[in-house]
């Protein structure tokens, strides 16, 4: 094993086609945040409308 660990305090759980209650329960069990699309990853918007620039 490499010894690397996931930092769940910095992690975000984003659901696709699942209920909000299930997503919230999973995020609570993992001790992480619930995210929404679009979001920023390394300063780049992910999952947004590419025709709309802001």
Question: Please, is 50 exposed, middle or buried when counting C-beta atoms within 10 Å of its C-beta (0-12, 13-18, 19+)?
Answer: exposed
Name the band, by pLDDT with cuts 50, 70 and 90, for residue 2. Answer: confident
Confidence grade of residue 48 (pLDDT, cut at 50, 70, 90): confident
What Rg value do the Cα atoms of the chain yield, rounded?
Answer: 14
């Amino acid at each position: 094993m490499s010894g690397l660990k996931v930092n769940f305090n910095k992690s975000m759980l984003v659901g696709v086609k699942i209920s909000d209650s299930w997503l919230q329960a999973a995020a609570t069990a993992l001790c992480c945040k619930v995210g929404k699309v679009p979001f920023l990853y390394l300063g780049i918007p992910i999952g947004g409308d590419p025709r709309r620039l802001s």
